[in-house]
């Protein structure tokens, strides 16, 4: 197992800290006083979580798991499309490291070869008049036998996509740099600068999807890009529908 070392994760503008084991890097940064720019990485998270409170599963030392905290000079509602911009930034970083075939699944998953490679979780807090965003990122680096069967879904890892293996310190550093740059762009211009690249990386663009809405209703249609705010557009029999919150279900087809 390659060790995580703070001194080997160099990102200008971020205070970097590494721990061996913690509950959740997102939770720790959210609870910590102040809102200074920081990065926290961990070998193991006992209460790692994803979107809608789902658990994040990763064997100790097998994934790049970290969170970035940064104050954002915008209204909370303006952050709706931020996970999409972060997905583009992560894909850019992985591509620069020689990883091929990375795609995005709306709204917050990294994909490869039709399997889940990683996930993104954005949470916010209001601190003394400033909006603080914490961006949690998990990327599978080492293949974990049996994980896909346990989760009942296909799982990908960077080792499946590039050899020799990439050290996790290097993965975290590269992705964090791109994310920090993307946060600055997003703060100034929102999702627009990322929208076309996200659509090009969309694993399901132009395909028929089933999406379970927040209230439990299921909607089917062809994936047709994003709204300016980051909603998923589906072309249905009743016209184009915009999905603000929902889960893309298995069973999509060309």
CATH code: domain of residue 147: 3.30.930.10
Q: Pick the last residue of a domain from 201, 216, 239.
A: 201
In this model, does residue 221 exceed pLDDT 80? Answer: yes
Alpha helices in 69-167, H assignment, sequence order: 82-96, 147-151, 158-161
Residue 1 lies in a domain: no
74 in the same domain as 179? yes
Q: Does 254 score more than 50 pLDDT?
A: no
CATH of the domain at 240: 2.30.30.100
Q: Are strands 239-243 and 109-112 parallel, antiparallel or unpaired?
A: unpaired
Q: At what angle do helices 168-189 and 82-96 cross, to 10 degrees?
A: 140
In a 13 Å sphere around the CA of 26, the CA atoms on its Cβ side amount to 23
Closest CA to 104 of 250, 96, 92: 92
Question: pTM above 0.85?
Answer: yes
Q: Scan for tokens 């097998």, then name that residue.
A: 62
Confirm whether 112 is domain-assigned: yes
d(CA 35, CA 179): 17
Say whether both 43 and 119 belong to one domain. Answer: yes
Same domain as 239, residue 175: no
Please check whether residue 50 lies inside any domain of the structure.
Answer: yes
Statement to judge: residues 14 and 117 lie in one domain: yes
- Bridge partners of 102? 112
In a domain, 192, yes or no: yes
For residue 254, being part of any structural domain is answered with: no
Q: Is residue 15, in this structure, part of any structural domain at all? A: yes
Instruction: Indicate whether 161 belongs to any domain.
Output: yes
Query: Lowest-pLDDT range, 39-43, 107-111, 215-219?
Result: 215-219
Same domain, 212 and 197: no
Question: Do residues 137 and 212 both lie within one domain?
Answer: no
Q: Are residues 153 and 244 in the same domain?
A: no
pLDDT tens-digit map of 49-89: 655 556 666 788 899 999 999 999 988 889 999 999 999 99
Residue 235: domain span: 208-248
Q: Is residue 82 part of a domain?
A: yes
Provide the number of structural domains found in the chain.
2
Query: Which helix (H) or strand (E) segment is 197 a member of?
Result: helix 192-201
The helix, strand and coil proportions of the chain, stated in percent and rounded to the nearest 5, come to: 30, 35, 35
């Amino acid at each position: 197992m390659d060790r995580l070392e703070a001194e080997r994760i160099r990102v200008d503008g971020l205070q970097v800290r590494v721990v061996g084991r913690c509950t959740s890097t997102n939770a720790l940064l959210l609870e910590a006083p102040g809102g200074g720019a920081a990065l926290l990485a961990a070998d193991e998270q006992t209460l790692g979580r994803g979107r809608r409170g789902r658990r994040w599963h990763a064997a100790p030392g097998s994934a790049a798991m970290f969170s970035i905290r940064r104050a954002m000079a915008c209204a909370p509602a303006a952050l709706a499309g931020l996970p999409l911009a972060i997905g583009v930034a992560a894909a850019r970083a992985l591509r620069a490291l020689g990883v091929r075939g990375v795609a995005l699944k709306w709204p917050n998953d990294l994909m490869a070869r039709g399997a889940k490679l990683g996930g993104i979780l954005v949470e916010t807090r209001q601190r003394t008049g400033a909006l603080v965003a914490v961006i949690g990122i998990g990327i599978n680096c080492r293949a974990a036998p049996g994980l896909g069967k346990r989760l009942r879904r296909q799982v990908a890892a960077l080792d499946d996509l590039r050899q020799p293996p990439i050290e996790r310190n290097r993965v975290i550093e590269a992705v964090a740099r791109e994310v920090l740059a993307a946060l600055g762009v997003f703060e100034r211009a929102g999702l627009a600068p990322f929208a076309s690249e996200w659509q090009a990386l969309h694993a399901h663009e132009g395909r028929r999807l089933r999406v379970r809405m927040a209230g439990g209703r299921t909607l089917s249609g062809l994936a047709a890009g994003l709204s300016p705010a980051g909603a998923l557009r589906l072309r249905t029999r009743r016209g184009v529908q915009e999905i603000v919150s929902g889960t893309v279900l298995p069973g999509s087809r060309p």
